[in-house]
């Protein structure tokens, strides 16, 4: 198998984003994450902040709470909710990147599902144990009023619900990925090594 894309799904605080960055750096490939959000923002006119906050969270029961209107109907655009519309735009951008033949690492955004029909895609999932994640999130983002365990579990639930909503697949279920690694058990550097070796060996 000649790989040209690595998708990385990850638990919040697992270091999945750092691993994805490390893989892209080592392979000399493009890295997509916030860059996708920026592209979406430019194409849709949605504010970057809105997309950064909503891009990977679960669709709410209503979109009224998002607090903006499009085409006169609160939270509905072309008959879709804003969340569904955002998904469709992200999906298009990810497909365009993949079809351009650009070798790249894509973090999150259910890219594994979006590119499921393509050859040469390695789908990776990164998890880590609770202590590792707590330590990493507190070091990286600092403490907040919400208990750290709750922040982690809320984020996991939102990502899982979002993935389920758009793909009907269970987020984090091993058979849905090619490779799942525990960064707390194996270490960030070794996760990068394992992924790069698979890609390089083809």
User: Where along the sequence are the contacts to a second copy (CB under 8 A)?
Assistant: 1, 11, 122, 125, 127-128, 172-175, 177-182, 185-186, 190, 194, 198, 201
The whole-angstrom separation of Cα 111 and Cα 32 is 10
Smaller CB distance to a second copy: residue 161 or 198? 198
How near is the Cβ of 128 to a second copy at its closest, in Å?
8
Smaller CB distance to a second copy: residue 86 or 122? 122
Q: What is the dihedral of CA 26, 29, 32, 38, to 10 degrees?
A: 120
Q: How far is CA 8 from the centre of its chain?
A: 7
Residue 9's nearest CA partner among 87, 105, 129 is: 105
The whole-angstrom separation of Cα 4 and Cα 91 is 18
How near is the Cβ of 54 to a second copy at its closest, in Å?
24
The whole-angstrom separation of Cα 153 and Cα 132 is 14
What do you get for the CA distance between the two ends of the chain, in Å?
Answer: 5
Residue 126's nearest CA partner among 199, 53, 190, 35 is: 190
How near is the Cβ of 93 to a second copy at its closest, in Å?
25
Smaller CB distance to a second copy: residue 33 or 112? 112
Q: What is the dihedral of CA 70, 72, 76, 78, to 10 degrees?
A: -80
How near is the Cβ of 119 to a second copy at its closest, in Å?
11
Smaller CB distance to a second copy: residue 35 or 130? 130
Smaller CB distance to a second copy: residue 35 or 186? 186
How near is the Cβ of 174 to a second copy at its closest, in Å?
4
């Amino acid at each position: 198998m000649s790989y040209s894309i690595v998708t990385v799904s990850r638990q919040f605080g697992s270091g999945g984003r750092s691993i994805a960055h490390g893989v892209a750096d080592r392979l000399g490939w493009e890295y997509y994450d916030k860059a996708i959000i920026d592209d979406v923002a430019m194409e849709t006119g949605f504010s970057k902040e809105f997309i950064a906050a909503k891009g990977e969270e679960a669709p709410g029961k209503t979109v009224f709470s998002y607090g903006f209107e499009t085409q006169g109907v609160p939270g509905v655009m072309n008959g879709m909710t804003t969340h569904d519309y955002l998904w469709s735009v992200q999906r298009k951008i990810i497909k365009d990147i993949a079809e351009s033949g650009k070798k790249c690492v894509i973090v999150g955004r259910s890219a594994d599902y979006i590119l499921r029909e393509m050859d040469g895609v390695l789908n990776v999932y990164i998890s880590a144990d609770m202590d590792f994640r707590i330590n990493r999130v507190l070091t990286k983002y600092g403490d907040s009023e919400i208990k750290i365990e709750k922040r982690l579990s809320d984020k996991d639930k939102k990502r899982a619900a979002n993935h389920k909503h758009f793909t009907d697949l269970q987020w984090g279920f091993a058979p849905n990925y090619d490779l799942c690694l525990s960064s707390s058990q194996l270490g960030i550097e070794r996760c990068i090594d394992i992924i790069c070796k698979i890609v390089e060996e083809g």
